Amino acid sequence: MAYGSARAFAAVFHAIGLEAEPTPPSDHRTRELGARYTSGDECYPAKVTVGDFMKVLEDPRVDPSRVAFFMPTAEGPCRFGQYAPYLRHVLDANGFGAVQILSPTSENSYDGMGALAKPFVRSGWRALLCADLLEKLLLMRRPYEQVRGDAESVYEECLADLCRTIETTTVEPGAQLSALEQSMTRARDRFRKLEAPREREHPLIGIVGEIFCRLNTFSNENLIGSLEQYGAEAWLSDIVEWVWYTNSEVFRKLRLERRLWTLEALGAWVRQRVQRHDEHRLVDVFRDDFAGREEPDIYEILECARPYLPREGAFGEMVLNVGKAVYLAKKGAAGIIDISPFTCMNGIVCEAVYPKLSRDLGGIPIRNFYFDGTQSDLDRDLGVYMELARNHKKKRG
Ligand code: SF4
């Protein structure tokens, strides 16, 4: 998860009466422990998450029998589905059998959480939505700030406000939603106090890619921060996009299995209605602020992907990345960057599709950046890439 999403999610655990905190910031020790406890064949996100979890366990103040790691899982073609069982294996093999793993699955849109499922899933959804909104505000304002660091400190203030609101408000749905709306309104007003850009003249770069690596600044070497140093504004694909996608997959499978008129389908439909309602109320706070930067409906992304990777023949993030790249180009992006872990099959498939996509979209520069913790020329490569993006913007007029 992104930093803000992890903090907001930890606040949700507090709200339902459980102690929780995000793993401490990743650092060189994360990489050391990740390398020690993995074989080298795993994806980079597995290495980083295992490293972060083992870092928690090496703290002498931590009692392993009181620890549970939150590691969602998912159905699909990629290795993410193996993360939770793999983590279990690593823990057992290294004497941490007492550590629990909490692992809801996307197969049922993450509602397999026992008695706490309802408040947890709904509050968790709202927390992710709000964290995404704050991050979007930050990315829209930071490239244009007058005083360096202003946007970041406003963001931190808003995030603290969000977490406090989640922790101190009842999980009763109506009261919680109103409180979150108020928190988002305060956030909007704080960001509005920063001097607004007269024109958004920086080249807009769309960021797609593997969900962990694109959202986790440690894993992607703070690529967006470096891009901003080169005078870009980034539009980052958010985390809720994945939740909408898993919902849409539930319906696709129900349709395929001719089970659209079942209780299960009704449950999925109600859940989707509720989620849409929450999203509408929270996003509406920023209607003016996000003008021109509206997030698309998931079915619009899937339609954008259809000529290249139709969802019926491909699955998972590769479809979203290609579809979102098309959408972002249509919204005026001067370039697209795909952030992926080294050897990630999603990134590799997308890389094969991007040349055609670029040709179809007037030559927009699209580039994959792969990460495995050994990136050395990122800054130079971004400099070259930004030249291409600037030229494309000029050419397009
Ligand atoms: S998306 Fe890529 S990096 Fe992430 S788990 Fe799947 S294969 Fe690994």
CA distances from 45 to 215, 325, 376 (A): 11, 22, 18
Distance 40 CA to ligand 1 centre (A): 14
Q: Tell me the best of 1, 43, 44, 49 to mutate to test the pocket of ligand 1, counting ligand atoms within 8 Å of each CB and taking the most.
A: 43
Distance 369 CA to ligand 1 centre (A): 14
Distance 36 CA to ligand 1 centre (A): 20
Distance 344 CA to ligand 1 centre (A): 5
CA distance 234 to 225: 9
Angle at alpha carbon of residue 272, lines to 268 and 277, rounded to 5°:
150
Contacts of 249 (CB under 8 A, 6+ apart): none
Contacts of 12 (CB under 8 A, 6+ apart): 120, 123, 124, 127, 166
From the CA of 42, give the closest atom in ligand 1.
8
pLDDT for res 195:
78
From the CA of 210, give the closest atom in ligand 1.
1
Q: Cβ distance 132 to 153 under 8 Å?
A: no
Distance 50 CA to ligand 1 centre (A): 14
Q: Cβ distance 133 to 282 under 8 Å?
A: yes
pLDDT for res 397:
76
Contacts of 352 (CB under 8 A, 6+ apart): none
Distance 161 CA to ligand 1 centre (A): 33
Residues lining ligand 1, Cβ inside 6 A: 43, 45, 78-80, 210, 317, 341, 344-346
Distance 321 CA to ligand 1 centre (A): 13
| DSSP letter, residue 309 | S
Smallest CA-to-CA distance from 131 within 110, 106, 109, 160 is with 160
Q: Which residue has the tokens 């309602």?
A: 277
pLDDT for res 110:
54
pLDDT for res 107:
63
Q: Please, which residues bridge with residue 338 across strands? A: 208, 368
Q: Do the bridges between strand 100-102 and strand 68-70 make them parallel or antiparallel, or are there none, so unpaired?
A: parallel
Q: Whose CA is nearest to atom 1 of ligand 1?
A: 210
pLDDT for res 66:
95
**pTM: predicted TM-score of the whole model, two decimal places:** 0.94
Q: Whose CA is nearest to atom 5 of ligand 1?
A: 80
pLDDT for res 298:
98
Q: Tell me the best of 41, 80, 82, 237 to mutate to test the pocket of ligand 1, counting ligand atoms within 8 Å of each CB and taking the most.
A: 80
Distance 349 CA to ligand 1 centre (A): 12
Q: Cβ distance 235 to 342 under 8 Å?
A: no
Distance 228 CA to ligand 1 centre (A): 26
CA distances from 272 to 72, 178, 182, 279, 372 (A): 20, 19, 23, 10, 36
From the CA of 344, give the closest atom in ligand 1.
2
Distance 3 CA to ligand 1 centre (A): 19
Question: Phi/psi at 382 (nearest 5 deg)?
Answer: -70, -35
Q: Is 337 helix (H, G, I), strand (E, B) or coil?
A: strand
From the CA of 83, give the closest atom in ligand 1.
5
CA distance 326 to 309: 12
- Measured from the Cβ of residue 299, the count of other Cβ atoms closer than 10 Å reads 12
Lookup: tokens for 187: 């956030």
pLDDT for res 52:
97
CA distance 232 to 224: 9
pLDDT in tens, 209-263: 999 999 999 999 999 999 999 999 999 999 999 999 999 999 999 999 999 999 9
Q: Tell me the best of 38, 346, 350 to mutate to test the pocket of ligand 1, counting ligand atoms within 8 Å of each CB and taking the most.
A: 346
Distance 211 CA to ligand 1 centre (A): 8
CA distance 246 to 326: 20
Containing H/E element for 100?
strand 100-102
pLDDT for res 111:
56
Smallest CA-to-CA distance from 128 within 141, 109, 101 is with 109
CA distance 248 to 229: 37
Q: Is 367 helix (H, G, I), strand (E, B) or coil?
A: strand
From the CA of 82, give the closest atom in ligand 1.
5
CA distances from 73 to 68, 78, 83, 187, 257 (A): 15, 11, 7, 32, 23
Q: Tell me the best of 42, 47, 49, 78 to mutate to test the pocket of ligand 1, counting ligand atoms within 8 Å of each CB and taking the most.
A: 78
pLDDT in tens, the chain (397 residues): 899 999 999 999 999 999 999 999 999 999 999 999 999 888 999 999 999 999 999 999 999 999 999 988 777 667 888 889 999 999 999 999 999 998 877 565 555 566 777 898 899 999 999 999 999 999 999 999 999 999 999 999 999 999 999 999 999 999 999 999 999 999 999 999 997 777 888 999 999 999 999 999 999 999 999 999 999 999 999 999 999 999 999 999 999 999 999 999 999 999 999 999 999 999 999 999 999 999 999 999 999 999 999 999 999 999 999 999 999 999 999 999 999 999 899 999 999 999 999 999 999 999 999 999 887 789 999 999 999 999 999 998 7
| DSSP letter, residue 172 | -
**Is residue 78 packed enough to be buried (19+ CB in 10 Å), middle (13-18) or exposed (0-12)?**
middle
CA distances from 116 to 17, 18, 122, 124 (A): 10, 10, 10, 11
